[in-house]
Amino acid sequence: MHPLEHAVGPPGGELEGMAAGGLHDILGDDSNRSTRPPSYPDRARPAAAARRRGGAGAAAAENRRGNRYPPGMADEDAAPVPTGAAHLRLLERARRLAVEPAAGHPLADLAAGASDAVVAAARGLPLATVRGLRSFYDQLGDGRRACDGTACRFGGGEALARRLARGGAVGTVRCLGHCYAAPSFRDGDRVFARPAGQPLEAWLAELDEGGAPGEAAAPIPRRALIEPAVVLRNLVPGAAPAGLAEYELPGPERILAALEASRLRGRGGAAYPTAAKWRAARDAAGAVRWVVANGDEGDPGSYTDRLLLEEDPHAVLAGMRACALVIGARHGVLYIRGEYPRALACARAAVEAARVAGHLGAAFDVEVVAGAGSYVCGEETALLRSIEGLRGEPSPKPPYPAERGLFGCPTVVQNVETLAVVPWIARGADRPAGAAPGSGTKAVSVSGGVARPGVVEVALGTPLARVLEQGAGGPRPGRGWKMALVGGPLGRVLPADRFDTPLGYDTLPGLGHAGVVVLDRSVAVRALAEHLFEFARAESCGSCAPCRIGTARLRDMPDRPRLERLLDTLEIGSLCGFGQGVPRPIRDLLEHFGDEVFA
């Protein structure tokens, strides 16, 4: 089946046959705990599902992704699923684009203010598909949006949102990647963040007086606790920018051998061996292959990819080119979250410069695509759907993208930081990175209750306490540490007495992209729990019932047994890593803080 068929489902097929009873079994009351496997998705009969649940269940069937199914809503009001001729048009478009990619992207058209009808006509998409896009992505269009990422939420973000609201409607964004200068907000393509050292009240007073203070201008602080730095090799103080020299690469066999020897594992969260992925894509059947750089960096608290894209984009593009050489790809896509306007501009300029210098172009070219606000689009299959111009809804794996990815072609999806490390490895420098399984270096984004927030590169296995003390200057004066959220809202919560935990993919599963937000003693455990619940509810894509409904019910769970049961349901029943990962930090909160979660 073509991946687009996975995305929209065959007419009258699985969606129609969704077992209504499964929903009740999955999320049923205490007396009815089902052992049956979950069935999903429940998109075709959402209203019926909501009516069956009634009350809390009905309210639960809501999220911000255009999946709102209040009680009594007629089935025919549900978001249209393309069928028949529209479905065939989508498939035809996919086949065409697989061979000859079109310039531009429907999300860009919508973000620029084009109407649904114009985009549908211009892109050859069914109108229903374009409407589906508009309801799915929540950062389309201009307007002011206050950042509600973790560092901003607990660093004055609520006060900022209240101030901004005095001047008119204010939306929400998670996250702008200015966690080290929280709180922050965006106004169209401009981002504003509190300058280092300026007291919050003084900065807010500036807002009261003159509207928006100056745009965020300070560079992202960075330092390395290892020698030599790898991720930050071109960025630490004293480093000479490598620029176009990053494209000096050996041949494909040597690149792959170097990668294999390094045992590099992906830095986006799943920690999958990079060389194995490239081999699989190279060996998969197909005339066309793709390289996709994942610059969605959705974890609130992570801003390493933003740093790389803005200040060292040639390292990332050269990593893509290395991958293209190995797998035999002619096309690449660099997908960057729309919340990073400067990174988008820098990456586009770098692509142009690389074309002029002959490093990109006829043999292998890269298109930069902007996201438009969806955390789940960082998940690799959702990312591919988003690049295809569809709603960023994950599809089941297998097939994995290396086998059947973008437009049905073998595709390597690789995190920005992973790619930035590749040229260094490929050139065979004398390296500590990946010298043994689980070793290598990782850039950790630190924010929250530390004296010197910033990106800190360390050897994997370094205890969190050392990162915070030596890399981030220790706690702020007079503010003792209580806990840290590590790896974002699907990551881990470590209490301060566990800060000796080594940061590694095996020592701390859930490390993710290694964003660390340190919370001091002023932050209540319930407040962090509420933040995690709200994030999960808002960012669920709504495709599968356990996650769509389960994430909405988290905050209503009155006690530990019921909450734990719901977490089991999410873990077992969810289609993708989002619903499966939501329980992880909540379980940590329960383990370390017990009933404070319900206080």
Ligand X SMILES: Cc1cc2nc3c(=O)[nH]c(=O)nc-3n(C[C@H](O)[C@H](O)[C@H](O)COP(=O)(O)O)c2cc1C
> In sequence order, what DSSP letters do the residues of 297-345 get, joined into one string?
--STT--HHHHHHHH-HHHHHHHHHHHHHHHT-SEEEEEE-TT-HHHHH
Which contiguous run of DSSP H or E holds residue 485? Answer: strand 481-486
Shortest CB 584 distance to ligand SF4, Å: 13
Shortest CB 140 distance to ligand SF4, Å: 19
Give the torsion sign (CA, 446, 451, 457, 460).
negative
Name which of 518 and 547 has its Cβ closer to ligand SF4: 547
Name which of 170 and 576 has its Cβ closer to ligand X: 576
- Looking only at the bridges linking them, the beta strands covering 184-187 and 171-173 are unpaired
Among 541, 552, 566, 567, binds ligand SF4 (CB under 6 A): 541
Could you give the C-alpha distances from 575 to 123, 397, 525, 541, in angstroms and in order? 30, 9, 29, 11
Give which of ligand X, ligand SF4, none residue 487 binds (C-beta under 5 to 8 Å, depending on kind).
none
- Asked if 376 is part of the footprint of ligand SF4 (rule: CB under 6 A), the reply reads yes
Number of residues engaging ligand SF4 in binding (CB under 6 A) = 14
Give which of ligand X, ligand SF4, none residue 270 binds (C-beta under 5 to 8 Å, depending on kind).
ligand X
Among 548, 567, 569, 585, binds ligand SF4 (CB under 6 A): 548
Could you give the C-alpha distances from 372 to 120, 134, 263, 337, in angstroms and in order? 18, 10, 34, 7
Question: What letter does residue 279 receive in the DSSP assignment?
Answer: H
Give which of ligand X, ligand SF4, none residue 541 binds (C-beta under 5 to 8 Å, depending on kind).
ligand SF4
State the number of CA atoms in the 13 A half-sphere of 523 facing the CB: 30
Shortest CB 543 distance to ligand SF4, Å: 4
Give which of ligand SF4, ligand X, none residue 462 binds (C-beta under 5 to 8 Å, depending on kind).
none
Name which of 37 and 167 has its Cβ closer to ligand SF4: 37
Shortest CB 381 distance to ligand SF4, Å: 9
Residue nearest to ligand X (CB): 266
Shortest CB 139 distance to ligand SF4, Å: 17
Give which of ligand SF4, ligand X, none residue 542 binds (C-beta under 5 to 8 Å, depending on kind).
ligand SF4
> What does the binding site for ligand X look like in residue numbers (CB under 6 A)?
266-270, 272, 294, 296-298, 376, 378-380, 413-415, 418, 576-578
According to CB under 6 A, which residues from 556 to 575 bind ligand SF4?
574-575
Name which of 410 and 579 has its Cβ closer to ligand SF4: 579
Name which of 234 and 415 has its Cβ closer to ligand X: 415
- Looking only at the bridges linking them, the beta strands covering 144-147 and 184-187 are antiparallel
Stretch that binds ligand SF4, among 107-115, 410-418, 444-452, 541-549 (CB under 6 A): 541-549
Strand partners, 69: none
State the virtual CA torsion across 11, 12, 13, 18 in degrees, nearest 10. Answer: 130
Cβ-proximal residues to 177 (8 Å cutoff; 6+ apart), any chain:
297, 302, 303, 306, 339, 340
Before 409, cis peptide (omega within 30)?
A: no
Shortest CB 574 distance to ligand SF4, Å: 4
- Looking only at the bridges linking them, the beta strands covering 441-448 and 454-459 are antiparallel
- Asked if 540 is part of the footprint of ligand SF4 (rule: CB under 6 A), the reply reads yes
C-alpha to C-alpha distance for 90 and 105, rounded to whole angstroms? 14
Could you give the C-alpha distances from 585 to 362, 490, 512, 527, 593, in angstroms and in order? 46, 6, 12, 13, 12
Name which of 377 and 525 has its Cβ closer to ligand SF4: 377
- Asked if 543 is part of the footprint of ligand SF4 (rule: CB under 6 A), the reply reads yes
Name which of 41 and 266 has its Cβ closer to ligand X: 266
Name which of 300 and 449 has its Cβ closer to ligand X: 300
Name which of 58 and 204 has its Cβ closer to ligand SF4: 58
- Asked if 549 is part of the footprint of ligand SF4 (rule: CB under 6 A), the reply reads no
According to CB under 6 A, which residues from 384 to 443 bind ligand SF4?
394
Shortest CB 355 distance to ligand SF4, Å: 36
Could you give the C-alpha distances from 501 to 211, 470, 550, in angstroms and in order? 44, 15, 31
Give which of ligand SF4, ligand X, none residue 414 binds (C-beta under 5 to 8 Å, depending on kind).
ligand X
Whether the Cβ atoms of residue 263 and residue 437 lie closer than 8 Å to each other = yes
- Asked if 3 is part of the footprint of ligand SF4 (rule: CB under 6 A), the reply reads no
State the number of CA atoms in the 13 A half-sphere of 486 facing the CB: 28
C-alpha to C-alpha distance for 141 and 112, rounded to whole angstroms? 7
- Asked if 581 is part of the footprint of ligand SF4 (rule: CB under 6 A), the reply reads no
CB-neighbour burial class of residue 263 (10 A; exposed 0-12, middle 13-18, buried 19+): middle
Give which of ligand SF4, ligand X, none residue 540 binds (C-beta under 5 to 8 Å, depending on kind).
ligand SF4
Binding site for ligand SF4 (CB under 6 A): 376, 394, 540-544, 547-548, 574-576, 578-579
